[in-house]
A and B are shown apart, each in its own frame.
Chain A
Amino acid sequence: MKTLWNLSLAAALLAGGVYVYADDEKEHTRPIQSKPLSKHDQSATALYKKECGACHMAYQPGFLPKRSWDKTMKGLDNHFGTDATMDTNDTQTIQNHLMTYASKNDRITDIKGAVALRISQTPHFVREHREVTKKMIAQPEIKSIANCTACHTKAQAGSYREREINIPNYGRWE
């Protein structure tokens, strides 16, 4: 059974699933997607990681709801002040990928009355980072709260466990 769990975890992480919540104390365990990836899903995941990951970490789609990704994909000509346009086919493939794996849990991603474009605006993110100071983030090694990998050492693989956190010049979280 454990093997099965590990396999489905690996599949979910490959698709851009998020293993955020199961820290060592099982403080916030949350189910993750567990269906195996089709060939099409694998190539869409690879395209998403290549294209979006060229400039910043390819954030796991599960961090934002569909409406957020939809707005993001429709505004790539002015993506946080830069041109992030792609050809029509690639844009459509990534759009579909994001729609498939977007968060379906409004409790963690909904911001009342607006469409979040930044993961850092969403309630779960805000709560989880409430003890992180501005001074920590302003360090040149981090630059921005959007730079997940600066502290979450396995963020790119979709894992955000507390024991994997290492804040530059501050060290481990625990």
Chain B
Amino acid sequence: MSEAPILELRQVSFAYPLASAPVLAAVDLTLSPGQRLGLFGPNGCGKTTLLSVMTGLRPANAGEILHRGRPVRSEADFGLLRRELGLLLQNADDQILFPTVLDDVAFGPLNLGLAPAEAEAEARRALDFVGLDGFEERLAHKLSGGEKKLVTLAGVLAMRPKALLLDEPTAGLDPATRDRLAHILGHIDAAVLTVSHDWDFLNLVATDFFTIEHGRLVREAASQLHWHAHAHPHPEQPH
């Protein structure tokens, strides 16, 4: 079955004002249903910028973004795109908007036009899915870092996205929550693009790997990335 890609970037470039070099230079990227992409790279290489450009939070300087084959140009086009694309921000506190968990998770479904009862049902289903049933009335500011991350994930999943974009999802998580997150991502239908410098996690949730070098998207063979993974622990265990 060959469906049209959910999202396609063609020769997309982006540079911050007054910056000497572009962060993204003629990037091509396709995200198709069911795909599991991993984007690996150090801090500051443009991973978060790429996600912002993909979701229209930052306008691309050049190139074309296609949503199911149709070019996305206006804010209204991006609005339609965002109905299918869930982005999980790196900092959970940026994404939890309401004092109580249930209100926050239901915010997206309500924005999609669901009636309050349906939105609440979606929210409860999503909370259940990420293992947070019983958290509905909890106060957001009293949750742990890992719980906040799972609440934001439920908030995105409650909108039933066709593709999920994750920005450094494991930052600040303990190993147990990290494993739980990997487990959840293994059980969702949507295409997933995970951006991280945590190679072990990326290896758990993705099957195709990319990195950004000098603004260009480079495909990496999994074996090469394995080498990265083993190189990482060394500085922490000097011999």
B and A form one assembly: no
